[in-house]
Amino acid sequence: MKAKEILMSAVLVLGMTACGNVKKSSDATVSLPVGPSFSADSAYRFCEQQCQYGPRTMNSDAHEQCAQWIAQKFGSYGLTVVRQQASLKGYDGTMLQATNIIASYKPDLADRVMFCAHWDSRPWADNDADESNWHKPVMAANDGASGVAVMLELARLLSDSLHIGVDFICFDAEDWGVPQWSDVPDASDSWALGAQYWSANPHIANYKPRYGVLLDMVGGQGARFYREAYSLRYASSVVNRVWQAAQVVGFGSYFPNKDGGQITDDHVPVNEVAGIPCIDIIPYYPDCEASSFGPTWHTITDDMDHIDKSTLQAVGQTLIQLLFSENS
């Protein structure tokens, strides 16, 4: 991410309703906890294992090795895995060999829910306080690995008692957007390249899940997840369900009933091109001088030392509640 547009007003979205193809589903998220216990220890380990390859920057050996590991890990939990490969052009003309990884639970069911996250690393720590680090790659423990880690733990916990299909989509080439030090004007379409490609070329024709949930930077210390503006515009009912689920499982403090920014992220093409109502769970730090995305965003300190198991637990258990409520 991210030629991010931080618009901290109410953004005219409070009165907007969700996209019309969100199917009606149970309100079980407002009653009692359901589903298994999410393991933050397991998710932390999945995050750590991705980082052991080093920064997963485009066209690198670490990138390809980690792609193989992610696909194998989802497959080990009995999911059907598809690797969608494409050559995508970066903002500077570099051809990026991208791989979107799609892992499907009960792929024959038409009734589905989608979770997604990007798995690539930012090639440049262009928001680092030290200018000498601006051309160094980011480890991306939070801004990349944490979202995939939460999805892997969700996949591990799925059981035959779940009566809907689930797809986990790992988007590639999200973080190749124009760096701050570049003379090239920033452009929103330089970000989320893998999501743009998948949204125009879904892995299944006419793919229409109930909704999607994007996980971006869901393991940071001190993270709080405000309601993002595009999410409210396109899928406000899904925002409501997620924030209600957090309250039910005791993590409402991580999901305050406050509005955050309007963020250029993978969920934008999913909504606008694929036509799938998709929200973004992404942190907002209103008092952080370095970035409203937190102190480690696009810096060399986005590493395992700054991953918080409590944040992983809050997000993961909330999504367990959301997903297993769909069974009711």
Query: How does pLDDT run across 139-149, given as a tens digit for each residue?
Result: 999 999 999 99
Please list the residues that pair with 252 across neighbouring strands: none
Rg (CA), the chain: 18
17-55 residue pLDDT tens = 333 344 444 444 448 999 999 999 999 999 999 999 999
Q: For residue range 137-186, what is the model confidence (pLDDT) as tens digits?
A: 999 999 999 999 999 999 999 988 899 999 999 999 999 999 999 999 99
- pLDDT, tens digit, for every residue of 247-276? 999 999 999 999 999 999 999 999 999 999
Residue 1's pLDDT is 57
In 36-60, which positions are buried (b, 16+ CB within 10 angstroms) versus exposed (e)? eebbbebbbebbebbbebbbbbbeb
Cα torsion angle, 197, 200, 202, 208, sign: positive
The model's pTM: 0.92
Task: Looking at the structure, give the CATH architecture of the domain made up of residues 28-325.
Answer: 3-Layer(aba) Sandwich (3.40)
Q: Where are the domains of the chain?
A: 28-325
Are the C-beta atoms of 209 and 113 separated by less than 8 Å? Answer: yes
Q: How many angstroms from the chain centroid is the CA of residue 51?
A: 17
Cα distance between residue 293 and residue 4, in whole Å = 10
Q: What's the pLDDT tens digit per position in 296-328?
A: 999 999 999 999 999 999 999 999 999 999 986
Per-residue pLDDT at 159: 84
> Which residues are registered as beta bridge partners of 307?
220
Arithmetic mean of pLDDT, 127-142: 98
